[in-house]
Amino acid sequence: MGLEQKLGNMGVVTTSLEKAIGWARANAIWPLLFGLACCAIEMMSAQASRYDLSRFGMELMRASPRQSDLMIVAGRVSRKMAPVLRNLYDQMPDPKWVIAMGDCASCGGVFNNYAIVQGVDEIVPVDVYVAGCPPRPETLIDGILKLQAKIKQEPLTKWQ
Amino acid sequence: MEQTLIQVEDAPSNQVRLEDVQLDITFEQLKRLVSPRALTGETMLLNMGPQHPSTHGVLRLLLELDGETIVNCIPDIGYLHTGIEKTAESKTYLKAIPLTDRTDYLAPMSNNLAFCGAVEKLVGIEVPLRAQYLRVILMELTRMNSHLVWLGTHALDIGAMSVFLYCMREREMILDIYEAVSGARMMSSYIRPGGLWRDVPAHFPQLVQRVLDVFPARLLEYEKLLKENPMWKERTVGVGKISAEDAIAWGMTGPCLRGSGVNYDVRKAQPYSSYDHFEFSVPVGSAGDVYDRYLCRMEEFHQSLKIIRQAMAKLPPGPVMTDDRKVAPPPKHEIAYSMESLIHHFKLWTEGFKAPEGEVYFAVESGKGEYGVLLSGDGSSKPRRVHFRAPSFHNLQPISQISKGALLADIVAIIGSIDIVLGDVDR
């Protein structure tokens, strides 16, 4: 393999358990297959041909919350949808993370009215906010890379 | 080797008891919607959605099943209700346009045109011919954009993964054109009352030509994958039938109506934006099943290309915005030296233009059907009432009737074939 040729014989690698687990968690995230509105279409674009999210180990969308560890809230969350969304979040096993994709999920966006929850952080804890209406696939990928960097630094004690 | 089953105490189950169904109706009302057998537990109640990969968003269906046959299907909508109509009433006519993008987010330009067309009808503005032709080109590209997502997700639901990847690849070409003209990939807000926001960039013809060159071969590719595919036909032919009378009675429009054999297309019935200058035919099916709706949409790709080709050849030079300064902003170079123009620009963007009292209805043929806007002006710069006649909502209505007696797997094909967008249904 390429790594041995560069570094010589790598028989033993020493690292802390925390770093090893963080590295493993960050590179095998299974997002929940869960689209709400316009942003879900850009999320689909991010997974499809041109942007190919699988380059970052993020393409395996799971339709069941019990098999996934990342929730990408892609779109506006209405007051009727909010309890369902919270229910889905509660069904996800630890460790779990949330990306608020788009302005509506982050802060309500252009819809400052009776129907829309003004930011999904009112009902679930959000790790990364991705701005845009809707964000370009590159922006979403950037948000996911930011999340990966965050996961790598998380202390092991966080998910006890 | 002996296998041991792991017992999970709260194992996820989608089966729900009638008493536990959470709907915004009373138990008595619910009892009237299901068959008497559901009360005894003879038939099974299954909750599908609002988080389900093949309900195209957040549609929720409560299914009553006898084995695998659907006895009753109760749709529950409103999970994406955004209050767009009400919000549009509190904004000036210009500022309401970005909201229309977000109703049917797969065809933003169609929504823009429907709303701007209604405003133009209410105020009485003539649109320059170049703007009309460019609108036609963008409308047809939007139709293809909408149909590409339909084809990709419909095939994905039925089990053909590669079609989705091909469709999204071609869709990027159309999104590139959106981005070139408006600066945004999806939410364009490019069409404005009186014309277009700005003229198209210099490389616009090359971008459109690329679509015209590439698409015919790609369409052949999709047809090779699906049209005569025995598995595809097994899943679609004879499934989700609706007769012409029923389709009209339920208010279906677009390819869903034409798949049942009714030749109705707003572009032909009430031509707008000089659609009568172009030659094209309207594909009509006969059986009214999932397969015929598929055939109609596939033929519409070819017709869209035909219209774009004609419009590009005939595209006249000239302005893209009306010279009626009541609605059109003054040109940028004028603002630089004329105080009056600066004030005019400022007033137009803060107060907006006033529309007379009256009520108009303007409809366009979007990818999904007749997208109409009812606009009621009260003499001020804000509308009294805005209503969107969303094609997805009307096309979704007969789902209880269509799916009665179908198999559980067929409901996925039916939802895909009526091509709903929940942002359009709930608004």
Residues B119 and B182 in one domain: yes
B140 pLDDT exceeds 50?
A: yes
In-domain check, residue B117: yes
Q: Look at B102 and A110 and tell me if their CB atoms are within 8 Å.
A: yes
Tell me, yes or no, whether B385 and B243 share the same domain: yes
String of DSSP letters for A126-138: -SEEE-SSSPPHH
- Maximum distance among all Cα pairs of chain A, rounded to whole angstroms: 63
Preferred mutation among A33, A39, A50, A88 to probe B, highest tally of B CBs within 10 A? A50
The domain boundary, picked from B26, B45, B76, lies at B76
Q: Indicate the residue among B76, B105, B122 that finishes a domain.
A: B76
Last residue in a domain, options B34, B59, B76? B76
Give tens-digit pLDDT for B176-218: 999 999 998 988 889 999 889 989 999 999 999 999 999 999 9
B166-183 confidence digits (pLDDT tens): 999 999 999 999 999 999
Complex confidence, ipTM: 0.86
Look at residue B1 and tell me if it is in a domain: no
| Phi, psi torsion values for B357, nearest 5 degrees | -70, 140
Mean pLDDT along residues B406-425: 89
Quick one: average pLDDT of B323-348? 87
Residues of chain B whose beta carbon is less than 8 angstroms from a beta carbon of chain A are: 12, 50-53, 57-58, 78-84, 86-87, 98-99, 102, 105-106, 149, 164-166, 168-169, 171-172, 175, 185-187, 422-423, 426
pLDDT at A6: 66
Contact A81 B79 (CB under 8 A): yes
Q: Which residues of B touch A116 (CB under 8 A)?
A: 82-83
Residue B412 has pLDDT above 50, yes or no: yes
Give domain status of residue B146, yes or no: yes
Number of domains in chain B: 2
Q: Are residues B51 and B167 in the same domain?
A: no
In the structure, what pLDDT confidence band is assigned to residue B144 with cuts at 50, 70 and 90?
A: very high
Same domain, B24 and B102: no
B407 dihedral zone (left: phi>0; alpha: psi -120 to 50; beta): beta
pTM of the full predicted structure? 0.89
Within a domain: residue B334? Answer: no
Cα separation of B161 and A49, whole Å? 12
Residue B18's domain comprises 8-76
Residues B316, B186 within the same domain: yes
Give the pLDDT score at B6.
44
Question: What CATH number does residue B298 fall under?
Answer: 1.10.645.10
One-letter amino acid of B195? G
Question: What topology is assigned to A30-151 in CATH?
Answer: Rossmann fold (3.40.50)
Integer Cα distance of B369 and B260 in angstroms: 14
Q: For residues B254 and B232, what is the distance between their CA atoms, to the nearest angstrom? A: 22
Domain regions of chain A by residue span: 30-151
Using the structure block, give the residue that is written with the tokens 């009638």: B18
Question: Under an 8 A CB cutoff, do B83 and A33 touch?
Answer: no
Is the domain of B17 the same as that of B111? no
